[in-house]
Every structure is written in structure tokens, then in C-alpha cells.
Structure 1
Amino acid sequence: MEIGLLHPGAMGAAVGAVLTAGGARTSWVSTGRGPATRRRAEDAGLTEVPDLAALAGCEVIVSVCPPAAAVDVARSVAATGFAGVYLDANAISPRHAEEIAGLLGRATVADGGIVGPPPRAAGTSRLYLSGPAAAVAPLERLFAGTPLRPVVLAGPVGRASALKLAFAAYNKLTYALAAQSHALAERHGVGGELRELAADVLPDTPLGAPEGIASAGRRAWRWEGEMAEIAAACADSGLSPALLAAAQELFGRWRDHRDGDVAVPELLQALVSRPE
């Protein structure tokens, strides 16, 4: 099977490695991508192609990109005349998932939501799928038996995205709340006491294990956009987007720490400093 992958970031490259391990020839577009992306693509066994037009003949294109870019990526793919199965596996609102399905009029579009870390071991990550059977069924077969376990949801495009965002809202807000709490405690000289209290009472949470905040800080550049998508989904559903907008602003203060080594005290200090 010929598959196109857009684009091999940390999650995308891991998905690509799953596909190549299953025997699929999986290609990525190198134009405009940096050396870090190239290293990830090579490690995943992906095949380099120069531009999107080279993917037009693929049977499947999988989009795993920052949420804010998902619609533009789909629009660019549509311009190539792609007519295969398109999997949008991004953390986007149901409304944007529906918009993407409309953009790709010649393709058959499946809505996907990846829950869990980059899929490298069985039992850690799920790919929720919704949409027309003509798109969902071949994707379910493609990922069956891999570390990225497919789970089919009955219903149209948008349902997988809704589940992904509902889960992400709780999961990622816990890191925002933990960071805010630790920053407040540090500001008043009781950081050590909060760490001791939380480790004793809530040991298996980001509050009780604040070292996880460092990992959140490295991914905040992506989570910032994801919060915007969840806020939009809440507004579309008649729910208040205010909590998600606040988390978006918090994660925005960490965007400069993308993929780097950063200590928790530095991240906490960024929360009490004025944003640029």
C-alpha cells in the first residue's frame, strides 16, 4: 500500500513507523522541513518525496500536524486532486473536521483522534475513527494489530474529534492547573510544603508528581492550539469556552520551550512573568 504522511513530528513519525513496520511504503514531503523532521522521518523508515503532488496517487494520506494547520493542510491536499482515503488525525473541533471533509470532495475522509503517547508499544495508544465506512474500514484494517489500536465509532465525521477533545480537555487541563498551583505556592514561599502535601495526598496526579510539568512545557506549543480547538468545540456546543481559553493563554507562555530541556522552576517562573 502507498501511504502519504503529513507531517513527521514526534507523533506523526511514530505513526509512520507503525505503518512502515506493517509493510506499507510511507512517504513524507521534505520541502520546507528542517533537519529534526528529516531525522525523525529517516528513523521511521519513511520515503522522501519533494512535494504534495507526489502523494496524489497514494491510496491513503494521513494528516498528523499541529491543530491550527489542519485545515490548510487539507486544502493543499485537495488542490492535488487526491481521490483516495484521507485520515485527519489531528486534535481539531468537530466543526473543523466537517470542514475538512467538505474541502476534500474527491477523497473519502475519515475523522481520527489519537489518544495516548506516540505509539511505540502495544496497549498505550488508540486511534478513534468515525465517518463513512468506505474510509473507516480500510483504516481499521491498516492499523489492526499494531501499537496504534483502531477503535471505530459509529457515526459521522466529527465524532472521533469530539471524543479526543473531551478527553484532552480533562487530561491537559490537569497540567495547567498543577502548574498554576505550584507557581502560586512558590510565589508565597510554600512551594516545598505544597510538593510534600500533594505527593502524600495526590501522588498520581500532575500536582503530586510535578516533574511531569516539564514534559507538558515541551509540548505546550502544540497544546496551545489544541486548547483553542477545544474552546471552539465548547462554544459550538453551548458550553463556556472560558476555562479552555485560560489554559490556552497559560500554555502560550511556554511556547518558546518547544522540544527543549527545561526545568520545572523555569516554567513556573514563566507563569508569573508578564507575557511578551
Structure 2
Amino acid sequence: MGILHPGAMGAGVAAQAVAAGATVRWLPQGRSAATVARAEGLGLRPAGSLEELAATCEVVLSVCPPAAALEVAGQVAATGFRGVYVDANAVSPERMAEISAVFEGGGATVVDGGITGPPPRRPGSTRLYLSGDDRAVARVSALFDGTALTPFPLAGPIGRASALKLSFAAYNKISYALAAHAAALADGHGVLDDLLDLAAHLLPGTPLAAPERLAGAGPKAWRWEPEMREIARASRSAGVPAVFAEAAAETFARWEAHKDDETVTGARLVADLRDDPAHRTEGTPA
């Protein structure tokens, strides 16, 4: 199996395939020293080029930022890859159709994938939904049988796994943007501490009640912003208002400077929503 490209989630997925006995290859070119060390520690084997990876792997799994999904698919298709290509990115069904079209006539079989949950480390925490050609789906599922990444085949064509993934993300991730908005509103009126106390009483376990959970959105916002754009696209195609996803995308865009910064606080993220020169009223000091 080949993995493109092993960030936190991709590395976790690859590690489960290795644990199940698969040989997993990846591309170290252009990756950071930390990524190389992580891949080596997980037992991933380097490939000298994308062409080499495509020629030696029967299954290639793409786990990358959604904005890069179509480009990565095009690069793999250009190698003449003829195995099973799994796009497990947070993309809309419409984007998934574009990715599938890239491989038309080339001999590869495309499988639609959607990962829910954190990077897989313990059984029951993370699911890999799969849709598309039944034989190809079964082949991919077998790579992760008995691992911490639980495969869930979905009956039906390409697009169903992506639709399910984005539907879940629409609730799960937009809730972080909504919590931050509520906190910023309360902060602007001097009642933030009271709001947090109220949320802890009535909404325990939510990002609004636990600022430390809200902080977790900051390092990931650079990936979540394009995911919200994909949710907006999927919403429009289903005749559903896209305004929630579009507003969440704008919120996450405010936090992109905190990419991979695990030290950012919930208070900083709330402050980022209030620090917007474009929305200052006349007479407000800069």
C-alpha cells in the first residue's frame, strides 16, 4: 500500500496497515525532518519517486488537505497507476466525482473514503467509511481488519462516503466555530466568565463549556477552512443553505496563523474573532 501523505491522520492510518501486516510506502521528498522521523518510526518504507510508489503498490491511499485532493489524484493518474486509488479526504461528492474522472480510461479503480474520529490509536475510536466498486471496497477493508481503524463499507456509488463524512463534520466542526462566536460575543459585552459558567452547568463536555477543547481547533483551522468550503458546495448541491459552512470557513480562516501550534489557547482564538479592523465601527480606536 502507498500513503499520500502521512501527516498526523495519514501516519495513523498507515500505522494500522503496517500493524496488520501490510508493507506501506510513502514519499519523503520535500517533507520535514519531523515527518521523516515519524514515518521511519512507524515502519513506513520510502519510495524514490511517485512513479516507483505507483508501480509497487496495489492500493494507494490519499490522506491530504482537501484543497490538494484533486491535484494529488492527478499526479497519481499521470503515473499510469492501475490499482485501487482511495481518496479518503474531506471533499464533497462533487469533488469526488471530479477525482474519479481523472482516472477514467486509465485502468485504476477509485474508492471513495471518509475518515471520522481522531488519528487511530485504540479500537473503536476511528472509522473509515468506503463506497464504490464492491470488490475494491472489500480489498481496502481487508487492509484494516482487526486494527484500530474500523472499515465501514457503504452500499452504493462513489460519493456516499464523502457525503457522510462531510455531514458529520458539518455538525462536529462547525460547533467549534459557533462556540468561539458565542464566546467572542460574550467577551465583547464583558460576560465571558458568566457564559463559561453557564455552559459548564447546562452544556458540559461541549467546546463552549471547555475552552481547552476550543483551543484544539486552532492548529487544525488551516485544514478545516477548505473542508468547510467543500461542505458548502455539498450543501448547495443538496438544496441545503450553505451559510453555516461559509461562516465557519471565515472563522477558521482567522486562525490559520496558528497552523500546527499546539500552544495556542482558547482565549487567543476568541480574541482573534474580535480583532478585525474591517469590522471596526467609526470612532473605534485602532
State the TM-score, normalizing by the size of structure 2: 0.93
- Corresponding position of 1:120: 121
1:267 aligns with 2:284: no
Moved more, 63-72 or 138-147: 138-147
Deviation at 1:61, TM superposition (A): 0.2
Q: Counterpart of 2:63?
A: 64
User: Match for residue 243 of structure 2?
Assistant: 242
- Note the C-alpha offset of 1:70: 0.3
- Is residue 99 from structure 1 mapped to residue 98 from structure 2 by the alignment? yes
Q: Which residue number in structure 1 is paired with residue 143 of structure 2?
A: 142
Unmatched segments (≥5 aa) in structure 2: 279-286
Output the CA distance in 2 between the equivalents of 1:180 and 1:41: 37
- Alignment TM-score, normalising by the size of structure 1: 0.97
1:49-88 to structure 2, matched below 5 A, reads: 49-57=47-55, 58-88=57-87
Letter in 2 for 1:95: E
Amino acid at match of 1:264: G
Larger Rg: 2
Query: Do the aligned partners of 1:9 and 1:40 also contact (CA within 8 Å) in 2?
Result: no
Structure 1 stretches of 4+ with a deviation exceeding 6 A read none
Stretch moving more, 156-165 or 182-191: 182-191
Partner SS for 2:211: coil
Structure 2 CA distance for aligned equivalents of residues 134 and 148 of structure 1: 19
Contact 2:65–2:89 (8 Å) recurs in 1: yes
- What is the CA distance between 1:275 and its match in structure 2? 7.0
Give deviations 1:191-247, integer Å, cap 9, x for gaps.
111111100111121111221111111111110010010001111112221111110
2:133 is the alignment partner of 1:132: yes
1:43 to 41, 44, 52: 41
Count of residue pairs brought into register by the alignment: 274
Residue segments in structure 1 that go unaligned for 5+ positions in a row? none
Structure 2 counterpart SS, 1:235: helix
Deviations 1:30-61 (A, max 9, x none): 12222232122122211112321111221100
Is 2:222–2:259's contact at 8 Å kept on the other side of the alignment? Answer: yes
5 Å-filtered alignment, 1:208-247, equals 208-247=209-248
Does 166-175 or 46-55 show the bigger shift? 46-55
Q: For 1:35 and 1:274, locate their aligned partners in 2 and report how far apart those are by CA, in whole Å.
A: 36
What is the root-mean-square deviation of aligned Cα atoms in Å? 1.2
Q: Secondary structure at the match of 2:220?
A: helix
2:181 corresponds to: 180
Output the CA distance in 2 between the equivalents of 1:254 and 1:168. Answer: 18
Q: Go from structure 1 to structure 2 and tell me whether the alpha carbon gap of 1:275 and 1:94 turns closer, same or farther (over 3 Å shift).
A: farther
Rounded Cα–Cα distance in structure 1 between residues aligned with 2:48 and 2:180 = 42
1:89 aligns with 2:88: yes
Does the 8 Å CA contact 1:86/1:135 hold for their aligned counterparts? no
8 Å CA contact 2:22–2:143 kept in 1: the answer is no
